[in-house]
Structure 1
Amino acid sequence: MTENKYYSYDLETYPNIFTCVIQNIQSEEIRVFEISSRKNDLNKLLQTLLWINKNDKALVGYNNLNFDYPILQFIFNSNFQNLEKEKNAEEKITFEIYNYANKLIKENKNYIEDKKSIILNQVDLMKVHNFDYRATMVSLKMLEINMRMENIEDLPFPPGTKLQNKNFNTLIEYNIHDVKATTKFFIHSKDAINFREKLSLEFNENMMNYSDTKIGKRYFIRKLEDKLGKDICYKDGKPRQTIRNYLDFSQIIFPYIKFQTPQLKALVEYLKKQYTNDMSTVFSNIPKENLGELANYIHINKNGKASSLHVLFDNFRVDIGTGGLHGSLESCFLQSDDEFEIIDVDVASYYPSIVVRNRLYPEHLGDEFADIYDEIRKLRFSYDKSQPQNKMLKLALNSAGYGDTNNKFSPFYDYKMTITITLNGQLMLCLLSEMLKLKIDSILLIQANTDGLTLKVPKKDKELFFSILKEWEDITGMGLEENFYEKIWIRDVNNYIALKKDGGVKKIGAYKDSLEWHQNHSSLVVQKAVEAYLIKNIPIEETILNHNDPFDFMLNYKASRGIKLVLEENSTTKKEYENLQNTIRYYISTNGKALKKTLPPLKNDNEERIIGINVGFLVNICNDRKDFSFKNLNYDWYIKEAYKLISPFKEKAPSNLFDYLD
């Protein structure tokens, strides 16, 4: 990758000022373009855009494809030079740009590039990281916090404000700050950018703004088209799909799934009777009379229904749904000892393995789909897990073979394939649980999740244990991988921490301190202190009181639309409020103020609602890193938060192995 090719940029649009800041990512040189009553850089900006176009440079932004880039094209196409001789020309230009920007925001549409206009190569980091997807959506401000920037700046003036000349420089400083943040995130994204450069050349298709998932889908579609014809996935611009009016579950369950215990036999009997396309009637709020024999092995609520589909297997509840299997002991600590060993077994590449082993395919794509799928799966394993090709191919397999089979906008759509994978995947793990329990009476099932089981296995039966695993592999065609745990602390199925025999640590949910960019990075010192306590037996207080990274003590909060953040101070006569920016960084302090959020009034009420955040504690704002102070830090709050995470284990630790089964 040639960094000199890339320039990060960002625009600010107000009724009487337009600014554009561009930074060379390699040299870090910054250029500012302004159109306002005091300055007119229009011609300089247009010449710069022409230079970027002719020299095949690329502009890097955040949400730039749907906002900044169309504005640049609007400016280039608007012949504003003709206005420059008119009186108040700059005012007219800025106001037209502002109106166009407002239109983009209100319409909230994906921008379609104007091929007749100037073409400027774009890299949109929001799209590259899939941060425009609802589940992972994150703002540039939150990324600034997660990147631990020294200063977090929010928009200094409300959108639509007509700024005074004295505020122009403040706006430009903010614009520069955002461009520097974009540059910083680009540096974090180097591997992803480099990968997209190579793929774009290989496939002669611009993939620079594809998310990993989209790259995976496109790769699979290209392979299908190469082997089965250009119309295999799309016809007349529309995705080919298989639409089903119903699912016959008796035709879905694999023939080799055969149970011996009455509760699991009853489960399969119930499932095979289902004939519907409404999954909610199969897996939730099931009347007792519809359950048949399964009603004897499931919890029925006071309304005479099973709220969810589950089975009580050896005093262990296993929940079954349209997704993955799940079940877990809760609020407990377990460890390997002289008699027992904790072993986690999971299926390598579970869903793709199910597809390959059982030759599954969306009906409209035909049986050849399974062969191409298997080829791509083998290709994936030819790359090391650390290589981006491995990740891309994994996403291709998961999308085409599972996720997109339930996507009504995808050429892989065939819901029968979705439910065939997930349902049989769960039943196969139930089969493994049954096989183990029938032959090893004292084995303990600790957890069941989408692709595996965690068990406490008698050491005297380890040889038998592994022979049963092999038998199950032979029946199902799956391949199991094992991890050996020294200790495991479980709050629930989604939140636990485990120490592996090799010294590695697995952290899930609330116990995880290594987070994705879109996740909340608040007060990570808490998770670090908990890990040090559980794994190394270092007291919570010792870790927190001696920790010297201020960013690990910081919390953050982003106010959604219609909500304002304020600091509350009680004076002798009334409460006073200090307005804050929408995205803040702060720490729990001994000398600060109460943090609150104000919400619009409820219907038939005129007063704003005021709700506390971190109720009962004071905070200091540290959007600027310099405003953090260890002297004012309320260490007790962080210590108490850490103790909350370990309290489930301290209060309910078992005295012996079988306490959980009583």
Structure 2
Amino acid sequence: MIFYDFEVFTKDWLVVLINTDNQEEQVIVNNRLELYTYYVQHKNDIWVGYNSNGYDRYILKAILCDFNPKEVNDWIIVKKRKGWEFSREFNKIQLFSFDTQVSRYNSLKKLEAFMGHDIRETTVPFDIDRKLTDEEIEEVIFYCRHDVHETMEVFSRTYDEFQAQLALIKEFNLPLKHISKSQAQLSATILGANKKKLEDADTVFFPETMDIEKYKHVIEFFNENRHSSKQLETTIAGVHHVFAGGGVHGAKKNFMYECSPDELLIMADVDQLYPTIMIEYDLLSRGVSTPEKFKNILNTSLRLKSEGKKKEREPYKRICNITYGAEGDKFNAMYDPRNRLLVCIFGQLFLLDMIEKAENIPSMKLVQSNTDGILVIINKRDFEAFDDLVYEWEQRTRLSMSFDYYRKIFQKDVNNYIVVDSKGEYKSKGAYVKELNSLDNDLPIVNNAVVEYFINKVPVEKTINDATDLIDFQKVISISGKYSYAIYGKKRRHEKVFRLFASKDGKQLMKVKDGRPSKISYTPDVCRIVNTDITKEKTPDWLDRSFYINLAKKRVNDFMGSDTNV
């Protein structure tokens, strides 16, 4: 594998390449012949970069085609055009390109910050209108080399994504060139999809198997609004719900509950809801030429899940989960907006059907409903009745449900909650309480403090005051392209990504647009910027722990309701 990163200026370009077989590095500056020779030697290797499928591979191909890389750079960065649109000549160059960028919302520099690594950036402006000096070239090489090593680090921490891509290629006997495709594009290839011209995006009909009597106004809403962006707010089983073209959400707000010995807290989820609806109700993209292949993939995914074969299941599960989204992607061969809308509507109505039936159980309390499941509290004596109605619903709708059991719930809303089982193990969801990781690591001490408060009744002050690793207190922010630059106090900063810490002394970091500064959300008014490596740093005396304590208390109060004050 070849890890690489290009830097392009008005009159210069350079690339750092690292061969994983022998860990050899090669730096090429303004030398097309040297790059061509390297490419020929490694054209059968897999080339790995960060956002390389959106940028670097087209810079590479531009130089190999003897185009001006600056023109391609501006085509992509300034004109916001796709690299492949620049020239058909690019299609003639073989390149097995894998992109480590899992989320388009995170830059490589932001991931470096989450990991606690050095995120300082070159001071050489990319719009400099002259040849770079030797000193400037060396500085750019230094930071470019750093980014290649960081790309390798991100790759190692997201290796499952690469394995899943290879598994799809291997399982379905595809050529290696497909390593460059997104998984949605791979799914379209595997299913033999051919894009069709469809003009019935706002056509709505309903499944004959649903049985809704009490809440028919929801059906009427979908029938009247069809493909509009409107949403319906209504009360279902005593809980406020929102129905819309993207799914249903409903939850008791600020709900804290611990089951008595006679009660059950059941999370009932539909297994592979959308893929099953696609098969059972003929709503797979009409561009798919082999729907029976998708059915076999779905059945294999469900079988491997029941057998506990997680690794073997992954490529099948991926295709099942990706296909629904691909139906809404106008650039994908499976684009079918009508069927995508209907799959979502059918799913919402089937859940509504389930809730309507469950209301007949005397002890049933609905806690939340979401895209593919419901969370309910029932008395144990009513479990058999609940299980029976679920079985009847499964037989009628041709869907399948599975149950998970919990003992406690702490719920701010449908998007932020913690559930705890009888063994004390918990599951959390939402920005306030989700479990963070090395590539999603923003204000981890605050999340930890909130979870510890609810799960183990630990005061937030104790969690925060006992923490000694500086990285736990980091707030990572990035200045988007909507803003010109950032200022720290009165000093303009050239960086786009910052690692901030609340401080007893310091200044405020602000973003600037049209010459006007504005506050950056969830950042302290007084902070220090530490963009150097902090992976081994301990908390200093200047750290203002009160900022984190107050933020954690606010989030706890948000969970518990406006009348509380921790």
Q: Counterpart in 1 of 2:313?
A: 390
Residue 382 of structure 2 aligns to a residue in which SS?
helix
What's the offset of the Cα at 1:499? 1.0
**CA distance in 2: counterparts of 1:414 and 1:72, whole angstroms:** 34
Rg larger for: 1
Aligned in 2, Cα 1:74/1:431: closer, same or farther, shift over 3 Å?
closer
Q: 1:57 aligns with which of 20, 23, 45?
A: 45
Amino acid at match of 1:173: F
Q: Counterpart in 1 of 2:5?
A: 10
Q: 1:172 aligns with which of 118, 122, 141?
A: 141
Q: Counterpart in 1 of 2:342?
A: 420
Amino acid at match of 2:457: N
What's the offset of the Cα at 1:120? 4.6
**CA distance in 1: counterparts of 2:55 and 2:274, whole angstroms:** 38
What's the offset of the Cα at 1:378? 1.1
Aligned in 2, Cα 1:539/1:23: closer, same or farther, shift over 3 Å?
same
Report which structure shows greater RCO (CA 8 Å, sep ≥6).
2
**CA distance in 1: counterparts of 2:180 and 2:476, whole angstroms:** 29
Q: Counterpart in 1 of 2:120?
A: 153
What's the offset of the Cα at 1:67? 3.5
Aligned in 2, Cα 1:378/1:158: closer, same or farther, shift over 3 Å?
same
Aligned in 2, Cα 1:379/1:637: closer, same or farther, shift over 3 Å?
same
Q: Counterpart in 2 of 1:299?
A: none
**CA distance in 2: counterparts of 1:312 and 1:28, whole angstroms:** 61
Alignment pair present for 1:105 and 2:77: yes
Amino acid at match of 2:372: D
Number of residues of Structure 1 aligned to a counterpart in Structure 2 = 552
What's the offset of the Cα at 1:540? 1.5
Aligned in 2, Cα 1:523/1:204: closer, same or farther, shift over 3 Å?
same
**Per-residue Cα deviation, 1:332-378 (whole angstroms, up to 9, x for no partner):** 21111134322111111112222333344455768x73x43321111
Alignment pair present for 1:595 and 2:548: no
Q: Counterpart in 2 of 1:256?
A: 209
Q: Counterpart in 1 of 2:354?
A: 432
**Per-residue Cα deviation, 1:68-114 (whole angstroms, up to 9, x for no partner):** 334334444449xxxxxxxxxxxxxxxx5545544553443222673
Whether contact under 8 Å (1:595, 1:614) holds in the other structure is: no
Amino acid at match of 1:181: E
What's the offset of the Cα at 1:409? 4.1
What's the offset of the Cα at 1:474? 2.5
Whether contact under 8 Å (1:319, 1:327) holds in the other structure is: yes
Alignment pair present for 1:30 and 2:3: no
Q: Counterpart in 2 of 1:488?
A: 409
**CA distance in 2: counterparts of 1:9 and 1:447, whole angstroms:** 47
Alignment pair present for 1:403 and 2:325: yes
What's the offset of the Cα at 1:148? 3.1
Q: 1:240 aligns with which of 173, 185, 196?
A: 196
Q: Structure 1: 5+ residue runs without aligned partners?
A: 1-5, 36-40, 80-95, 222-232, 285-307, 569-575, 602-607, 655-662
Q: Counterpart in 1 of 2:228?
A: 279
**CA distance in 2: counterparts of 1:589 and 1:542, whole angstroms:** 19
Q: 1:47 aligns with which of 37, 42, 56?
A: 37
**CA distance in 1: counterparts of 2:518 and 2:242, whole angstroms:** 40
Whether contact under 8 Å (2:53, 2:97) holds in the other structure is: yes
**Per-residue Cα deviation, 1:550-576 (whole angstroms, up to 9, x for no partner):** 2221111111223311111xxxxxxx3
Q: Counterpart in 2 of 1:85?
A: none
**Per-residue Cα deviation, 1:109-139 (whole angstroms, up to 9, x for no partner):** 222673697645433323xx3x4xxxx4321
Spell out the pairing of 1:132-147 with structure 2 (5 A cutoff). Answer: 136-147=104-115
Amino acid at match of 2:320: L
Residue 514 of structure 1 aligns to a residue in which SS?
coil
**CA distance in 2: counterparts of 1:100 and 1:365, whole angstroms:** 34
Aligned in 2, Cα 1:157/1:199: closer, same or farther, shift over 3 Å?
same
Q: Counterpart in 1 of 2:463?
A: 543
**CA distance in 2: counterparts of 1:381 and 1:100, whole angstroms:** 45
Amino acid at match of 1:21: V
**CA distance in 1: counterparts of 2:163 and 2:339, whole angstroms:** 34
Residue 207 of structure 1 aligns to a residue in which SS?
helix
**Per-residue Cα deviation, 1:440-462 (whole angstroms, up to 9, x for no partner):** 22321111111111111123322
What's the offset of the Cα at 1:257? 2.3
Q: 1:619 aligns with which of 524, 527, 530?
A: 527
Residue 279 of structure 1 aligns to a residue in which SS?
coil
Whether contact under 8 Å (2:96, 2:176) holds in the other structure is: no
Alignment pair present for 1:527 and 2:447: yes
**Per-residue Cα deviation, 1:352-406 (whole angstroms, up to 9, x for no partner):** 222333344455768x73x433211112234457746534323423444x33334
Aligned in 2, Cα 1:395/1:181: closer, same or farther, shift over 3 Å?
same
Whether contact under 8 Å (2:201, 2:338) holds in the other structure is: no
Q: Counterpart in 2 of 1:445?
A: 366
Whether contact under 8 Å (1:525, 1:544) holds in the other structure is: yes
**CA distance in 1: counterparts of 2:49 and 2:310, whole angstroms:** 25
**CA distance in 2: counterparts of 1:244 and 1:430, whole angstroms:** 26
Aligned in 2, Cα 1:600/1:628: closer, same or farther, shift over 3 Å?
farther
Q: 2:546 aligns with which of 616, 623, 636?
A: 636
Q: Counterpart in 1 of 2:151?
A: 182
Alignment pair present for 1:323 and 2:233: no
Amino acid at match of 1:124: D
Relative to the length of structure 2, the TM-score reads 0.87
Q: Counterpart in 1 of 2:98?
A: 123
Whether contact under 8 Å (1:241, 1:364) holds in the other structure is: no
Relative to the length of structure 1, the TM-score reads 0.75
Aligned in 2, Cα 1:446/1:490: closer, same or farther, shift over 3 Å?
same
**CA distance in 1: counterparts of 2:325 and 2:92, whole angstroms:** 37
Q: Counterpart in 2 of 1:584?
A: 498
What's the offset of the Cα at 1:266? 4.3
Select between 211-220 and 522-531 the one with higher mean Cα deviation: 211-220
Aligned in 2, Cα 1:267/1:610: closer, same or farther, shift over 3 Å?
closer
Residue 340 of structure 2 aligns to a residue in which SS?
helix
Residue 643 of structure 1 aligns to a residue in which SS?
helix
